[in-house]
Structure formats: structure tokens, C-alpha cells
Amino acid sequence: MNDRSEEVRRMALHLGFDAVGIARADEPLEVDYARYEEFIDAGYQATMDYLAAHASVRRVLSHPGILPGARSVVCVLQRYAVRLPSASTGIVGHIAKYARGLDYHNHMRRRLRKLADFIRKMESGATSRPLVDTAPVLERAWAARAGLGFIGKNGLLIRPGMGSFTVLGEVVTSVVLEPDEPMPSRCGECVACLQACPTEAFVGPYVLDARKCISYLTIEHRGPWQGEPKVAPWLFGCDVCQDVCPFNRGVGAWIDAGGPFDPRPQWHQLSLEQLACAAQSEGQIWMQASPMKRVRWEDWQRNVRGALGYDPP
């Protein structure tokens, strides 16, 4: 590995990321982009029109829509808390693990900007752009190309030793860095994630129909659901396909005590019944700085009814 790449790696770890990998940004995605096109053509994105927008931009990071002249992408990974204290009560167990604390975009973005500045200073006239779920980028595919892990059959990035309970970020740059080797898939014959899905949202390996996915139904979908999807007990998101993954065994003891992913106190105190009877003004206070603020209040009430499995009085 060249000196610049090693310096970037050390800085990323110094900033608190749990893993870092590097890939060529000017070589188009092939297999992952083909899967993306098939996903869109089948309409599996449901009402998430933004996933179909700017399709050509998603194939290569040197596209004018991302960073003209890009040569490298630095991909970083951050674990999040996956176990609750044994005495936990309230609604915390009904919330996807990544969303129980503060909005991860904010603290990831601050550190990615520092990393982008560090890389930019390596070379006169260099450009760098930090990204964290803010541009039409197939970030799991780029993370896999950078050797951070492999794409599991549930479509998530899996890093052996850390599992899949992670969030991703990138710095795209014109600076030439030495790329890492991709990691081969290690799913083998395992289909635990596909079989465990409560709503049978997986059409097959690597193919998710969002129209049936609990995460989509409780976060992205607006208005009433069609039919009566089996979302209970989930209030926001879903972790089932990750909970059953063998690569997440043995990594579930990690707790982000006092960190941004540490579950907020109100989630231990509130019950679904209390949330169902709450005023919108109370809810806005509870959701402040949380990923859950993404959901409209009327859809929150729909989610609460779904998590309860009935309409509260």
C-alpha cells in the first residue's frame, strides 16, 4: 500500500470509524448496477421514486453528478449498538437498532468532512466530496468493492467479525489512492435471512420487494397501508433479516454506552399505548434529532396501531 493510502487509513480510524477501505472511483459498477436496474424495472422500489432517479449517476463515481475527475473512493464503516440493557422496557425493542439513538447522518457527516479535508490537502488542486446517504450512490456496492465486506443475500453489507449492524459513508476524491481487494461472498448455501422475513419480502437472494418490507412500510410509505401487513411488533424499521444472520452471532454484545447510538431515555419510558394517545407536540419533542423524525405524525399513529396489532381506544 502506498504512503498516501496508509495515511488516509490511519486518519479514518483516528476519526473513530471502525473500518476503512479504498476503491477506484472511475471504474463503473457492473454486477451491482445490473441488479439495481432489474430492481427498478420490476417496480420493487415502491413509492421511493428517488431510487429510480438519476440512474446513470449510480454506475460510476466520476460521473459529473457526483465528482468529475474522481479517481478514488474512501469507504468507511461504523458499528452501532445492538444489545439493550437487560432491564429495558418501553418501546425501544420496537425500533430498528440503528434508529434508537441520535440521527447517525449528523455525526458521520462531521467526521467525513474532516477526512475529506485531510485528503484534499494531500495534493494541490485536489477535490474531495464527503457523502453519507446524500447522493445517488450505491454505497453498499462501493463498500464491497473497497473490501469492507461482502453483500449478503439480504442486500446488506456484511463484514466478518463485525456483522451487518453498521452504517456507511464515503469520501470521493480526485487523489489517486491504492485500492483494496474486494472480499468474496461467504453466504454459501445459507438462506436464513430470506426465510425469516415476516412478510416474505425477498423475491430471492439479493432481491427485495420493498412493497412488502416492514422497514419500507413503517418509514417510507405515506398514508394507509394496502391490506393488513404483519408489521407487529415493529414501530420503525425492522432487524429480523439481520438478527438471524450467522455473521451477527457473537457481535451482539457491543453497546454504545453514552455514544450517538445509545438508545435515548424516552424509548425506555414510553409504551405504545402512551404513544398512541400522545399529542403531536409531544411527539415532535421525543423525535427531535432522531432518525424517526423522518416519519409524518399521522403515519406514526398508523405505525403504532400496526405495532399494537389493533386500533387503540
Q: Which residue positions in the chain have pLDDT lower than 50?
A: none
pLDDT score of 134: 84
Give the Cα separation of 195 and 126 in Å (integer).
47
pLDDT score of 2: 74
Write out the residue limits of the CATH 3.40.109 domain(s) in the chain.
3-86+100-173
Topology, domain 3-86+100-173: NADH Oxidase (3.40.109)
151 beta partners: 157
pTM of this prediction?
0.94
Write out pLDDT tens, residues 106-143: 999 999 999 999 999 999 999 999 999 989 999 999 99
CB-CB neighbours of 218 under 10 Å = 27
Give the Cα separation of 165 and 157 in Å (integer).
9
List, by residue number, the catalytic residues: 133
Q: Going edge to edge, which strands form the sheet with 128-131?
A: 19-24, 72-79, 166-173, 128-131
Give the Cα separation of 21 and 76 in Å (integer).
7
